[in-house]
Amino acid sequence: MANLLELKNVSKVYSRGLINTKATIALQDISLTLRENEPTILTVAGESGSGKTTLAMLLLGFTTPTTGQIIYRGKNITTLHGKQRMAFRREVQAVFQDPFAVFNPFYTVDHLLTVPIRRFKLAKSRADARNRMDEALTAVGLRPEDVLGRFPHQLSGGQRQRINVARALLLKPRLLIADEPVSMVDASLRANILETLRNLQRDHGVSIIYITHDLTTAYHISKSIIVLYRGAVMEAGDIDTVIKSPRHPYTQLLVDSIPWPNLEKRWGVQPIKARDSGASTEGCRFRSRCPMAMEICKTPPPLFRIDAHHTASCYLYAEQPQVAPDHLSELLPA
Amino acid sequence: MMSEVLSDRPTTSRTSALSARPSGPEPVLRVQNLEVTYYTDAGRAKALDDVSFTLSAGEKLGMVGESGSGKSTLALAMMRMIKPPGRIEAGRVIVGDTDLTGLDDDAMRKARLSKIAYIPQGAMNSLNPVMRIGAQMVDAVKSHMNGESRSSIGDRCAHALKSVDLDASVFRMYAHELSGGMKQRVCIAIGILLNPQVIIADEPTSALDVVTQRQVMETIDRVQKEINAAVILIGHDMGLMAQFVDKVAVMYAGRLVEVSTVREMFTDPKHPYARALISSLPNLDNKGVFQGIPGLAPSLLRLPTGCAFHPRCTHAMDICGTTRPEVRMLASGRVVTCHLFNEEA
């Protein structure tokens, strides 16, 4: 089966300074495959500085990987030109975090929808364009007459974020990169947007990469998860297994810190070690904060296979068989 | 001038009923019939409408509601930091035995931080980027305590930093050298410098990830116990409320629609809006079920007649469209503003 998207050993290093160059490894040796005919929702989770937004920027082709390749439908995205590049731009869409920052306040919201229609010549006539807009807005649960012709400041955050999803939908994408789409939206509106995203995957066959630090919403919409910490994969697998029985100490800390709206399920008692910004990048990246750190953790841990759909990069599971990094996606259920 | 106007205002029986709530010791904070209006070109927006509640020392109250429901206005009104076109129209805020609404500007400036402290929403933007953290802390103490010796100010700051789990070296640092969570903890340290009786935390963790969020909330919890202050946590994350507070107050369109203990709120919410909020929560058992609250929050400029929630309410009755529900205290001591409970009150 053809692959929609393939990341081959992708790393991204940001360096700064002219003489004493300091390198920050934002993403280290990530391999990942999304198949063409199996639309899925994959969560990439991690705290700030874990490399999740770098991953989004790479996938959208806004930055280029330092090493490794990103292959979209058989073509390396850094070498796309002309028609192919236009097709890539149309088929891979993004929804960003801040629904307030993406709108130009001087235009009505129609602008955000008409520009892509014109740019990609999606409509034959004005009426056709209007129909497509109405269709996309209805699909995300908005009434076209409520939002068309309005200025961004006249709409709520939830409405704006849904217009962003509608814009993505209009272009009939194959892949949607959603970078924290609900973190700035009121809790009561989150459900609507998440449901919209899930319907997009279920009814329109769009694969979604859902980037977030919020494991609660991730749990509800996605099938599989990759947990990143400072650019490296800590744990990955089926979302139910990872959230309900996390194996890596970092994932355990994350899951422990979710404020569940449940009085019987209190926050964990495990004390939190502060993140040491100057910690070395040698070995396991979580070592300086890990309550279980051992001597062996000074060498980088490989991925260990815990079961068919669960893997963790931690020496606590060293007796398990290893997983080569480029076989990671075989463990993710579609 | 304001105090004269306010003291003439008759206290309604409702207020006394609310403050007589059997909540143990003498309340340290009493908010009575607070009302704030913003005068805009498009008309008057009543951002706070007849808000009353009390809080005892050591108690933690969660204030939840959608954006635009008046949560932050409430915090600012209690600090008397409402700026024009907003105005506090009526009501009182009493901390201990001081009526803040009656103080003159200078006395109010002294009361902030020493009686009532405010931890702002975006810690990243509330610290001065060109002043060392220490200088900002010393500033705060100096403006409240004339003639305090340098060493005792230093001790006070060091103690505050220590209680929020920050290294003493932070005193000499600039804001940009700190992470988001550390900045937020600096703001908490500044907030507790003068051992206030009431701490208002306005979405203190909204920009932080879960681990840092837990760290910050645990810090607030610890310092609150240390100085036995009352805490008001403003936010819209019900999960955080479940983990942190004792009582939850739900706001809708500028009014308090329900005040209950956290257990009552999560097991048996009364007001339909509170019920919808609780059932929209994601949990481990209801994977894939998305239940939002239909409709949108009303504009404060054009509030629906009667109960402001009635267009979105699944239990709406005829009376809801015509008559505004009164704030009522149920036999159980819970406060609900809804016609459904007219008989129970």
Subunit contact A257:B287, Cβ cutoff 8 A: no
Q: What is the pLDDT of residues B262-278, one digit of tens each?
A: 999 998 999 999 988 88
Output phi, psi for A297, to 5 deg. -65, -10
User: Chain B residue with minimal CA distance to A196?
Assistant: B290
pLDDT of residue B31: 92
Measured CA to CA, the distance from residue B92 to residue B77 in angstroms comes to: 10
Measured CA to CA, the distance from residue A223 to residue A35 in angstroms comes to: 14
Domain contains A255: yes
Quick check: B214 contacting A, CB < 8 Å? Answer: yes
Measured CA to CA, the distance from residue B301 to residue A158 in angstroms comes to: 20
**Which chain A residues touch B161 with a CB distance below 8 Å?**
none
Bridge-partner residues for B34, per DSSP? B51
Subunit contact A257:B263, Cβ cutoff 8 A: no
Neighbouring C-alpha atoms within 13 Å toward the C-beta of A140:
27
Tell which residue, A243, A194, A199, has the closest CA to residue A45: A243
Measured CA to CA, the distance from residue B191 to residue B75 in angstroms comes to: 14
Distances (CA, A) of A332 to A60, A92, A240, B67, B107: 22, 21, 12, 37, 62
Subunit contact B284:A220, Cβ cutoff 8 A: no
Measured CA to CA, the distance from residue A270 to residue A304 in angstroms comes to: 24
- 3-state DSSP: chain A helix, strand, coil percent, rounded to 5? 35, 25, 40
Quick check: B237 contacting A, CB < 8 Å? Answer: yes
Q: What is the pLDDT of residues A168-209, one digit of tens each?
A: 888 888 999 998 888 777 776 778 788 888 888 888 889 999
Tell which residue, B40, B47, B63, has the closest CA to residue B260: B63
Domain contains A13: no
Cis peptide before B272 (omega within 30 of 0): no
Domain contains A292: yes
Residues in CB range of B323: below 8 A, 6 or more apart:
B306, B307, B339
Residue that is written with structure tokens 């209006």 in the block: B37
Pairing of strands A41-45, A224-229: parallel
Distances (CA, A) of A9 to A80, A188, B34: 19, 39, 60
Q: Between helices B150-163 and B133-144, what is the axis angle to 10°? A: 120
Enclosing domain of residue A227: 223-334
Measured CA to CA, the distance from residue A139 to residue B309 in angstroms comes to: 26
pLDDT of residue B4: 42
Output phi, psi for A157, to 5 deg. -55, -40
B333 touches B22 (CB < 8 A) = yes
Domain contains A166: no
Measured CA to CA, the distance from residue B195 to residue B114 in angstroms comes to: 6
> B200 to chain A, minimum CA–CA distance in Å?
20
A158, A194, A261 member nearest B239 (Cβ)? A261
Tell which residue, B235, B251, B256, has the closest CA to residue B60: B235
Quick check: A271 contacting B, CB < 8 Å? Answer: no
Residues in CB range of B173: below 8 A, 6 or more apart:
B132, B133
**Which chain A residues touch B243 with a CB distance below 8 Å?**
259-260, 266-267
CB atoms within 10 A of CB A97: 20
Quick check: A141 contacting B, CB < 8 Å? Answer: no
DSSP state of A88: H
Pull the structure tokens for residue A33.
């495959």
Measured CA to CA, the distance from residue B266 to residue A262 in angstroms comes to: 8
DSSP state of B90: E
Say whether B62 sits in a helix, a strand or coil.
strand
* Rg of chain A, C-alpha, whole Å: 21
Measured CA to CA, the distance from residue A262 to residue A316 in angstroms comes to: 30
Domain contains A189: no
Burial class for B152, CB neighbours closer than 10 Å (0-12, 13-18, 19+) = exposed
B209 touches B178 (CB < 8 A) = no
A159, A187, A265 member nearest B238 (Cβ)? A187
Subunit contact B211:A240, Cβ cutoff 8 A: no
Tell which residue, B137, B127, B34, has the closest CA to residue B78: B34
Domain contains A284: yes
Subunit contact A187:B280, Cβ cutoff 8 A: yes
Measured CA to CA, the distance from residue A105 to residue B182 in angstroms comes to: 34
Subunit contact A220:B243, Cβ cutoff 8 A: no
pLDDT of residue A126: 87
Residues in CB range of A191: below 8 A, 6 or more apart:
B280, B282, B290, B291, B292
Measured CA to CA, the distance from residue B214 to residue B184 in angstroms comes to: 12
Subunit contact A219:B282, Cβ cutoff 8 A: yes
> A172 to chain B, minimum CA–CA distance in Å?
24
Total domains in the fold of chain A: 1
CB atoms within 10 A of CB B42: 9
Neighbouring C-alpha atoms within 13 Å toward the C-beta of B188:
31
Q: What is the pLDDT of residues B13-72, one digit of tens each?
A: 444 444 444 445 678 999 999 999 999 888 888 889 889 999 999 899 999 988 778 888
Length of chain A counted residue by residue: 334
Quick check: B301 contacting A, CB < 8 Å? Answer: no
Distances (CA, A) of A60 to A65, A88, A168: 11, 9, 13
Subunit contact B282:A159, Cβ cutoff 8 A: no
Helix (H) or strand (E) holding B49: strand B43-56
Q: Set out the domains of chain B in order of their start, with CATH numbers.
A: 2-115+197-202+235-341 (3.40.50.300)
Quick check: B292 contacting A, CB < 8 Å? Answer: yes
Residues in CB range of A5: below 8 A, 6 or more apart:
A32, A33, A34, A59, A70, A71, A72, A73, A175, A207
Q: What is the pLDDT of residues B82-137, one digit of tens each?
A: 888 889 999 999 998 889 888 898 889 888 988 999 988 776 678 899 999 999 99
DSSP state of A214: -
**Residue B194: pLDDT above 70?**
yes
Subunit contact B210:A254, Cβ cutoff 8 A: yes
Quick check: B221 contacting A, CB < 8 Å? Answer: no
Measured CA to CA, the distance from residue B236 to residue B206 in angstroms comes to: 9
DSSP state of B227: H
Quick check: B241 contacting A, CB < 8 Å? Answer: yes
| Longest pairwise C-alpha distance within chain B | 67
pLDDT of residue B8: 42
Q: Percent of chain B, pLDDT > 70?
A: 91
Residues in CB range of A318: below 8 A, 6 or more apart:
A296, A304
A159, A213, A263 member nearest B242 (Cβ)? A263
B179, B287, B293 member nearest A220 (Cβ)? B287
Tell me the pLDDT of chain A averaged across its residues: 85
What part of A 14-53 touches B (C-beta under 8 Å)? Answer: 47-48
A128 touches A118 (CB < 8 A) = no
DSSP state of B302: G
| Mean pLDDT for back-to-back runs of 10 residues, chain A (334 residues) | 84 80 82 86 86 88 90 88 88 84 85 88 87 86 83 80 86 89 75 84 90 87 91 91 91 86 75 60 82 87 90 90 83 76
Measured CA to CA, the distance from residue A262 to residue A183 in angstroms comes to: 20
Distances (CA, A) of B101 to A33, A110, B116: 62, 47, 13
Domain contains A325: yes
Residue that is written with structure tokens 């009552």 in the block: B264
Distances (CA, A) of A37 to A107, A206, B199, B209, B231: 38, 10, 54, 34, 53
